[in-house]
Amino acid sequence: MKVQIVDHPLAAARLTTMRDKTTDNARFRAALSDLTQMLVYEALAGAPTAPVPIETPLSAFDGTRLANPPLLVPVLRAGLGMVEQAHAMVPESHVGFVGVARDEDTAQPVPYLASLPDDLTGIPVFVLDPMLATGGSMLHTIDLLIAHKATDITAVCVVAAPEGVAALEASGHPVRLVVAAIDEGLNDAAYIVPGLGDAGDRQFGPR
């Protein structure tokens, strides 16, 4: 599995804001939005382009566009804070939705929503979820996408635990990970350490 760590001073600064427990919900959402822009930008580096012949005010010019815009799939709740910025970066993208809650007693994923196009043949998919912890929600989402015939899947995450990266790797699924940081590991409650806490609560308040 290809793992791409977005190692940039601006990404590190936004992530520091997100990690800081004194950051309020509004500043957390703003930092997540900024960081999403950087993650999506990096995730699309090297993406195929298609020619667009245009005229500048001075001459003809062979321009380009993204050949194959990715389907954006935020994993609710926490991925919601990434989708607006990702969509602003690639306005021609379509958007699907997957909802997975976390059972706080077992840390197991509890799926409650899937809204995806039937046939994802040939369509790259960007799964947006800030936290790759155990990998349970991400693997559930990837299984759904594969059931819809996706073969080109990128997990766009803010922080990953080595356990989650290993779970994705072990799945053997066709997935690439773009992430700002890989942290130390999970605590007993399956939270990422040092992490940033509950990414849903930090954006939207506690449930």
Query: Where along the sequence are the contacts to ligand URA (CB under 6 A)?
Result: 78, 131, 133, 191-192, 195, 198-200
Please, what is the minimum distance in Å from the beta carbon of residue 183 to ligand URA?
A: 9
Neighbours of 28 (CB within 10 A): 22
Please, what is the minimum distance in Å from the beta carbon of residue 41 to ligand URA?
A: 23
Question: Would residue 129 show up in a list of annotated catalytic residues for this protein?
Answer: no
Question: Would residue 143 show up in a list of annotated catalytic residues for this protein?
Answer: no
- Among the listed residues 16, 49, 106, 121, the single catalytic one is 106
- Among the listed residues 29, 77, 102, 202, the single catalytic one is 102
What six digits make up the tokens of 144? 């759904």
What six digits make up the tokens of 139? 């693997």
Q: What DSSP string runs through 137-178?
A: HHHHHHHHHHHTT---EEEEEEEE-HHHHHHHHHHT-SEEEE
Please, what is the minimum distance in Å from the beta carbon of residue 34 to ligand URA?
A: 18
Q: How far apart are the first and last CA of the chain?
A: 34
Residue closer to ligand URA (CB basis): 33 or 151: 33
Residue closer to ligand URA (CB basis): 93 or 137: 137
What residues contact 80, with CB distance under 8 A and at least 6 apart? 74, 203
Residue closer to ligand URA (CB basis): 11 or 18: 18
Answer yes or no: are the C-beta atoms of 40 and 89 closer than 8 Å.
yes
How far, in Å, CA of 169 to CA of 2, rounded? Answer: 9
- Among the listed residues 17, 27, 151, 201, the single catalytic one is 201
Q: What DSSP string runs through 24-59?
A: -HHHHHHHHHHHHHHHHHHHTTT--EEEEEEE-SSS
Residue closer to ligand URA (CB basis): 80 or 192: 192
Please, what is the minimum distance in Å from the beta carbon of residue 173 to ligand URA?
A: 20
Please, what is the minimum distance in Å from the beta carbon of residue 78 to ligand URA?
A: 6
Question: Would residue 106 show up in a list of annotated catalytic residues for this protein?
Answer: yes
Residue closer to ligand URA (CB basis): 19 or 148: 19
Question: Would residue 207 show up in a list of annotated catalytic residues for this protein?
Answer: no
- By annotation, the residues acting in catalysis are 102, 106, 198, 201
